[in-house]
Structure formats: C-alpha cells, structure tokens
C-alpha cells in the first residue's frame, strides 16, 4: 500500500496528480523563499508564515498558508517524501476532491489549534500537521475500516505513528499542537470521507497497460521468492522508512 511501484515520475504524476502538485508547490516555494534570496521570497515568507499575532489581527489565511512553507531543505524534502509515501493510496481511494478536503481540513485544524493554545508570539510553518492528519485517517481505518487496509500496512502505520507521537514530546522546536490536533482532525474527518471507497490497489491505475504481460498481476508471485524470510525484508524496510519519515515529520516547523 505504501511501496511505490510506478515505473517513472511521469507515471506517478499521472496516477496521483494532487499529491504531485502539492509536492511541487512545496519544493518550488522552498526554492524561491530560501535559495534565490530575492525580495519576492521574503515577501512570500512574511505573508504566509504561521503567526498567532497576525491571525489575531485578522489575517486568517495564515491558517492555510503555513502548510506550503518549510524551514530548511531537509524539512521540505522529508515532508514531501512523507506525502509521496502516504498520500497516493488515499488519493486513489478518496478521489481528488475528498483527498484535498481531508489534507487541508486536518492542516487547518492543526493550525487553528496552534493559534488557540500556543502563545500569541508563536510562529510556525510546515505540512506536518496535515500529514499527521493522514495518519489519523489511516488509524481510523485500522480501528474501524479494517477491510480498507492490509495487515502489513496497518502495522507500519501503527509503528510509525507511535514513534512519531512519542518523539513529538521529546524533541525541541516541535509544534506539538499541530501534530496532536492534526492527527485528531484527520481521525475526525475520516468517517466523512471514507464513504463508498474501495481498498487501494496498485493495479487499478495500470489498466491501460493490460496488454503488457509483464505488468499483469500474478497471484502466486509472492510465493516464488522464499530464500529470505519475508518478515526480515519487511522489518528492514519499516526500520529504514520509519527513520526517514520521523526525521521529516520532526524537522523544524
């Protein structure tokens, strides 16, 4: 469910246009704000960064714009990596409109909670709250929509979520409110968007390649390679994946 099997970037963009556009916007804005050093970059940053003081002054767009801004390159890259990893399955299952509602709904809830509970002089940026919202939706699946998520994926989500939530309280410079309320927001939105959806299938987007025998699904293909126990491969993948995702989500907000 979370292992990407697209053959090219072009195929990924065609299959998951919403996730692709969000990632492209994140990276372009980081480049403009942090790398070019032009006045427009500074203007974008000061206009869009999350600021409780400015929200209190009536600039309510700052409940949305911080989702697109990131501090340093690693922050932008790993949040984008997290979106590429966890977004496609939900985009396919929910459809473009409901995915956008879920992503921005959780992100806005996270930023609104930051405004309500953090000090007035608090500033923040990053998509971590929205990404934790995706975790909230997956957690709702694990608990109440088990037919929509396979066992390995549910284990992976549970493991990464627990570690991320624990590290949220152990690391400095983390927007705890965004993480916690982003997750709660996603969990609350889940029953509204998980209606009339089918489980994720990596083959659903490849129906136009049905004439290519190499792309046909072989139900016995998982039984052909048994020299290395699958559990070892899966655990190794989870460990590496978990480290990358946690570093991204817990980067400077």
Mean per-residue pLDDT, 159-182: 87
**pLDDT, position 207:** 54
What integer is the mean pLDDT of 241-246?
A: 54
Q: What percent of the chain is modeled with pLDDT above 70?
A: 79
The mean of the pLDDT values for the chain is 84
Q: For residue 43, is pLDDT > 50?
A: yes
Mean pLDDT over 83-100 rounds to: 96
- Among residues 127, 136, 149, the alpha carbon closest in space to that of 198 is found at 149
Q: What is the mean pLDDT of residues 183-199?
A: 95
* Predicted confidence (pLDDT) per residue in 122-145, tens digit: 999 999 999 999 999 999 999 999
pLDDT tens digits for 3-20? 777 888 999 999 999 999
| Helix 96-117 / helix 17-30 crossing angle, nearest 10 deg | 40
Question: Within 10 Å of residue 120's Cβ, how many Cβ atoms?
Answer: 10
Q: Is it the case that residue 36 has pLDDT exceeding 80?
A: no
Beta bridge partners of 50: 124
Length of the chain: 253
* Cβ atoms of 244 and 81 closer than 8 Å: yes
Q: How confident is the model at residue 39 (pLDDT cuts 50, 70, 90)?
A: confident
Per-residue model confidence (pLDDT) at position 241: 54
Mean pLDDT, rounded, for 52-67: 97
Rounded CA-CA distance 206/215 in Å is 8
> For the residues 107-124, what does the mean pLDDT come to?
97
- Note the pLDDT of residue 2: 82
Cα–Cα distance for residue pair 17/11, rounded to 1 Å: 10
What is the pTM assigned to this prediction?
0.81
Res 174: pLDDT: 86
Residues marked active site are found at 128, 179
C-beta neighbour count of 186 within 10 angstroms: 30
- Distance, in Å, from the CA atom of 36 to the CA atom of 50, rounded to the nearest integer, reads 21
Question: How far is residue 195 CA from its own chain's centroid?
Answer: 20
**Residue whose entry in the numeric block shows the structure tokens 């998509």:** 127
Q: How far is CA 207 from CA 2, 15, 19, in A?
A: 20, 11, 20
What structural domains and CATH numbers belong to the chain? 9-205+227-249 (1.20.1540.10)
What would the DSSP string read from start to end of the chain? --S---SSHHHHHHH-HHHHHHHHHHHHHHIIIIIS--HHHHHHHHHHSEEHHHHHTT-GGGGTGGGG--SSHHHHHHHHHHHHHHHHHHHHHH-HHHHHHHHHHHHHHHHHHHHHHS-TT-EE--SHHHHHHHHHHHHHHHHH-GGGS-HHHHHHHHHHHHHHHHHHTTSSS--HHHHHHHHHHHHHHHHHH-SS-----TTGGGGGGTT-GGGS--TTGGGS--SS-HHHHHHHHHHHHHHHHHHHHTS--
Residue 54 clears pLDDT 50, i.e. is over it? yes
If phi over 0 gives left and psi between -120 and 50 gives alpha, with beta otherwise, what is residue 95? left
Q: Of 215, 144, 138, which is closest to residue 183 (Cα–Cα)?
A: 138
pLDDT at res. 240: 55
Q: pLDDT band at 248, cuts 50/70/90?
A: low
pLDDT tier, 216 (very low <50, low <70, confident <90, very high otherwise): very low
* Residue of 17 and 74 predicted with greater confidence: 17
């Amino acid at each position: 469910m979370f292992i990407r099997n697209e053959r090219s970037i072009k195929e990924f963009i065609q299959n998951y246009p919403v996730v692709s556009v969000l990632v492209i916007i994140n990276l372009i804005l980081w480049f403009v704000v942090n790398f070019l050093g032009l006045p427009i970059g500074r203007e974008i940053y000061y206009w869009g960064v999350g600021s409780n003081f400015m929200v209190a002054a009536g600039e309510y767009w700052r409940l949305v714009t911080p989702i697109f801004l990131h501090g340093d390159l690693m922050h932008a890259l790993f949040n984008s990596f997290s979106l590429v990893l966890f977004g496609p399955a939900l985009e396919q299952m929910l459809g473009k409109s409901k995915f956008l509602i879920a992503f921005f709904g959780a992100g806005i809830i996270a930023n609104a909670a930051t405004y309500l509970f953090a000090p007035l002089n608090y500033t923040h940026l990053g998509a971590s709250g929205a990404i934790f919202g995706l975790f909230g939706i997956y957690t709702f699946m694990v608990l109440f929509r088990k037919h929509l998520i396979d066992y390995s994926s549910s284990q992976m989500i549970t493991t990464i979520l627990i570690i991320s939530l624990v590290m949220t309280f152990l690391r400095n410079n983390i927007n705890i409110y965004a993480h916690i309320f982003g997750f709660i927001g996603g969990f609350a939105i889940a029953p509204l968007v998980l209606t009339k959806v089918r489980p994720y299938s990596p083959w659903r987007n490849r129906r136009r390649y049905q004439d290519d025998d190499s792309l046909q699904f072989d139900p016995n293909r998982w039984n052909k390679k048994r020299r290395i126990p699958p559990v070892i491969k899966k655990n190794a993948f989870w460990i590496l994946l978990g480290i990358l995702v946690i570093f991204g989500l817990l980067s400077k907000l």
